[in-house]
């Protein structure tokens, strides 16, 4: 008989974040502490310096005594089993993410993004974790680079884990979204640096991207952590922006130089493909990709997507203006055109 593994409210929960010292992990931590006051939050990451820096940020925080730090790597299943002891919720944010680095170091990305994901699944099941949310990326939909391929494999592992868990009641889901404003991997910090030179590099003038703020991403993850049935991929409805409009908003008056699209880079982002559409339900603020028609019944209040539906950044019906992007990213609107440094 399957076990029942009741999920406690966040205020009573023990929560663990893999990759907890990254941009997303830190924002999630402070959101949990300030809005939900959980019983305990564990930060699991492999970088002792980043853990030390985060500890310093917490020195005067009233909830600092509820935070625990685990040094470890998702490649190490035994360490995950130890860290997951007594944990109710896991948010899996640990990953190697740089597209060019993946092309030159494929096995390292496979070990972290695929084998690491499998380790998270098995450790969560073995420790009877209630629920697990894994962060994905638009690059996992019809991947054309190794990073995207590893994240697609990761997504498949978490989606299939519902059946794999057997008599255990651990639930898994995936959250997939586009570029995050304020994250270290986005193009915005690059444009901010280049603004000082008066010259911005653009790989292709036609390029479009989905955008979401760091806080919006955190809120979306927490919402699906509590609302999942298990086995879903959740995709938020978020706006697109043209890269040329982004450049003009951040660095008005700067020269733009087209350098050519890079290996493994897409012209436009796709988060729901035509092949996924037949298993996708549209809700008011998100799309839900389910593993089967039976699972889709959990979202009967939504609208099934048409078979040829495609959710892509170039055909989106929501577009960011420059002012909206600056506000969401927490950037001051430039008042003068940048000038080149001598």
Tens digits of residue pLDDT in 189-237: 889 999 999 999 999 999 999 999 999 999 999 999 999 999 999 999 9
Residue 185's pLDDT is 65
Q: Is the pLDDT of residue 47 over 90?
A: yes
> Does 330 score more than 90 pLDDT?
no
**Token pair for 263:** 């290996």
The per-residue pLDDT for range 69-93, each reduced to its tens digit, is 999 999 999 999 999 999 999 999 9
Distance CA 207, CA 158 (A): 31
Q: Which domain holds residue 61?
A: 10-176
| pLDDT value of residue 163 | 80
pLDDT of the residue at 292: 83
Across 307-328, average pLDDT:
93
Residue 339 belongs to some domain of the structure = no
Task: Count structural domains, the chain.
Answer: 1
Residue 51 lies in a domain: yes
The whole-number pLDDT of residue 182 equals 67
pLDDT at 166: 72
pLDDT at residue number 2: 44
Average pLDDT over residues 255-274: 91
| Residue 328 and residue 181 in contact, taking contact as beta carbons nearer than 8 Å | yes
If phi over 0 gives left and psi between -120 and 50 gives alpha, with beta otherwise, what is residue 210?
Answer: beta
- Determine the pLDDT at residue 167: 78
Q: According to the model, what pLDDT value does residue 73 have?
A: 98
Q: How high is the pLDDT of residue 129?
A: 97
Distance CA 316, CA 300 (A): 24
Q: Both tokens of residue 304? A: 């099934």
| 194, part of any domain | no
Predicted TM-score (pTM) of the model is: 0.93
Question: What is the model's pLDDT at position 100?
Answer: 87
Q: Is residue 34 part of a domain?
A: yes
Per-residue confidence (pLDDT) for residue 162, from 0 to 100: 79
Angle 243-250/322-329 helices, nearest 10 degrees? 70
Q: What is the set of active-site residues?
A: 139
Given a cut of 60, is residue 338 above it in pLDDT? no
Least confident of 16-20, 90-94, 265-269, 285-289: 265-269
Mean pLDDT of the chain: 92
- Write b or e for each residue in 136-172: b if 16 or more Cβ atoms lie within 10 A of its Cβ, otherwise e: bbbbbbebebbbbbbbbbbbbbbbebbebbeebbbbb
Task: Note whether residue 258 is domain-resident.
Answer: no
pLDDT level of residue 262 (50, 70, 90 thresholds): confident
Over the stretch 164-194, which tens digit does the pLDDT of each residue have?
777 788 999 999 998 888 676 678 888 999 9
Assess whether pLDDT exceeds 80 at residue 10. yes
Exposure on the CB side of residue 245, measured as CA atoms within 13 A: 17
pLDDT tens, residue by residue, 28-39? 999 999 999 999
Task: Give the mean model confidence (pLDDT) for residues 45-53.
Answer: 97
Give the pLDDT confidence of 273-298 residue by residue, as tens digits.
999 999 999 999 999 999 888 889 99
Please indicate, yes or no, if residue 97 is contained in any of the structural domains: yes
Examine residue 191 and state whether it is found in any structural domain, yes or no: no
Residue ranges with strand state E in 222-285: 233-236, 240-242, 255-258, 270-272, 280-282
Model confidence pLDDT, tens digit, residues 89-107: 999 999 999 888 998 999 9
Residue 15 placed within a domain: yes
The pLDDT score that the predictor gives to residue 36 is 96
Please choose, from the candidates 2, 1, 50, 5, the residue with its C-alpha nearest in 3D space to the C-alpha of residue 29. 50
CATH code for the domain of 43: 3.40.50.720
């Amino acid at each position: 008989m399957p076990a029942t593994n009741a999920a406690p409210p966040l205020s009573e929960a023990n929560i663990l974040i893999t990759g907890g010292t990254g941009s997303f992990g830190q924002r999630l931590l402070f959101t949990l502490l300030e809005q939900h006051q959980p019983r305990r939050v564990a930060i699991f990451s492999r970088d002792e310096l980043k853990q030390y820096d985060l500890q310093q940020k917490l020195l005067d925080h009233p909830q600092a005594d509820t935070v625990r730090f685990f040094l470890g790597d998702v490649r190490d299943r035994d360490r995950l089993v130890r860290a997951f002891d007594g944990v109710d919720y896991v948010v899996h944010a640990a990953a190697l993410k740089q597209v060019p680095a993946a092309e030159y170091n494929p096995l390292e990305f496979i070990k972290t993004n695929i084998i690491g994901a499998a380790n998270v699944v098995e450790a969560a099941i073995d420790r009877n974790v209630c629920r697990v949310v894994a962060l994905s990326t638009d690059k996992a939909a019809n991947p054309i680079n190794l990073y995207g391929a590893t994240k697609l494999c990761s997504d498949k592992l978490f989606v299939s884990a519902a059946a794999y868990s057997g008599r255990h009641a651990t639930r898994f889901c995936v959250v997939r979204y586009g570029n995050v404003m304020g994250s270290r991997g986005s193009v915005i910090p690059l444009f901010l640096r280049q603004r000082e030179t008066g010259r911005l590099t653009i790989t292709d003038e036609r390029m479009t991207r989905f955008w979401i703020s760091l806080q919006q991403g955190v809120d979306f993850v927490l919402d699906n952590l509590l609302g999942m049935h298990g086995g879903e991929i959740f995709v938020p409805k978020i706006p697109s922006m043209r890269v040329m409009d982004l450049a003009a908003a951040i660095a008005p008056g700067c020269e733009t130089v087209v350098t050519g699209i890079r290996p493994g880079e897409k012209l436009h982002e796709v988060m729901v493909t035509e092949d996924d559409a037949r298993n996708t339900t549209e809700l008011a603020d998100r799309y839900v990709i389910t593993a089967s028609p039976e699972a889709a019944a959990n979202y009967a209040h939504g609208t099934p997507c048409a078979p040829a539906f495609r959710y892509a950044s170039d055909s989106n019906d929501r577009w960011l203006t420059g002012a909206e992007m600056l506000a969401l990213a927490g950037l001051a609107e430039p008042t003068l055109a940048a000038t080149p440094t001598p």
